Protein backbone atom coordinates (compact mmCIF):
# COMPACT_ATOMS: atom_id res chain seq x y z
CA UNK A 1 0.00 0.00 0.00
CA UNK A 2 2.74 2.47 0.97
CA UNK A 3 6.02 1.32 -0.62
CA UNK A 4 8.04 3.91 1.30
CA UNK A 5 11.01 3.70 3.60
CA UNK A 6 9.52 3.91 7.11
CA UNK A 7 11.42 5.30 10.10
CA UNK A 8 10.80 5.82 13.80
CA UNK A 9 11.56 8.93 15.77
CA UNK A 10 14.90 9.02 17.54
CA UNK A 11 12.85 9.80 20.68
CA UNK A 12 11.42 6.26 20.57
CA UNK A 13 14.63 4.81 22.02
CA UNK A 14 13.88 1.30 20.77
CA UNK A 15 10.32 1.20 22.07
CA UNK A 16 7.59 -0.42 20.00
CA UNK A 17 4.78 1.94 21.10
CA UNK A 18 5.32 4.74 18.62
CA UNK A 19 4.50 5.89 15.13
CA UNK A 20 6.55 5.56 11.98
CA UNK A 21 6.81 8.17 9.25
CA UNK A 22 7.55 7.84 5.57
CA UNK A 23 8.20 11.02 3.64
CA UNK A 24 8.65 10.47 -0.09
CA UNK A 25 9.95 13.50 -1.99
CA UNK A 26 7.29 16.09 -2.89
CA UNK A 27 4.45 13.76 -1.95
CA UNK A 28 3.84 14.83 1.65
CA UNK A 29 4.12 12.06 4.22
CA UNK A 30 2.45 8.99 5.64
CA UNK A 31 2.22 7.81 9.26
CA UNK A 32 1.40 4.42 10.77
CA UNK A 33 1.26 2.77 14.18
CA UNK A 34 4.31 0.59 14.81
CA UNK A 35 2.28 -2.04 16.69
CA UNK A 36 -0.45 -2.23 14.03
CA UNK A 37 1.29 -1.79 10.69
CA UNK A 38 -1.25 -4.10 9.05
CA UNK A 39 -4.03 -1.56 9.66
CA UNK A 40 -2.59 0.80 7.07
CA UNK A 41 -1.42 4.39 7.28
CA UNK A 42 -2.63 7.96 7.15
CA UNK A 43 -1.28 10.02 4.29
CA UNK A 44 -0.94 13.80 4.22
CA UNK A 45 -0.34 16.04 1.19
CA UNK A 46 2.80 18.14 1.27
CA UNK A 47 1.17 21.46 2.40
CA UNK A 48 -0.51 19.77 5.38
CA UNK A 49 2.67 17.91 6.36
CA UNK A 50 4.75 21.10 6.17
CA UNK A 51 2.19 22.93 8.36
CA UNK A 52 2.39 20.10 10.91
CA UNK A 53 6.20 20.20 10.96
CA UNK A 54 6.26 23.99 11.32
CA UNK A 55 3.86 23.85 14.26
CA UNK A 56 5.72 21.00 15.95
CA UNK A 57 9.07 22.77 15.59
CA UNK A 58 7.73 26.07 16.93
CA UNK A 59 6.40 24.32 20.06
CA UNK A 60 9.82 23.01 21.10
CA UNK A 61 11.58 24.58 24.09
Chain centroid to CA 7: how far?
A: 8
From CA 26, how far away is CA 59, in angstroms rounded?
A: 24
Question: What confidence tier does 57 reach under pLDDT thresholds 50, 70, 90?
Answer: confident
Residue 58 confidence (pLDDT): 86
Question: How many CA atoms lie within 13 Å of 41's alpha carbon, on the beta-carbon side?
Answer: 20
Q: Is 49 helix (H, G, I), strand (E, B) or coil?
A: helix
Residue 27 confidence (pLDDT): 76
From CA 42, how far away is CA 7, in angstroms rounded?
A: 15
In the 8-state DSSP scheme, what is residue 27?
S
pLDDT for residue 48 is more than 60: yes
Percentage, residues of the chain above pLDDT 90 = 10
Mean pLDDT of 1-23: 75
Amino acid sequence: MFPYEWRKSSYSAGQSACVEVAAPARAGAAMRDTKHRDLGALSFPSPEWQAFLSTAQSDQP
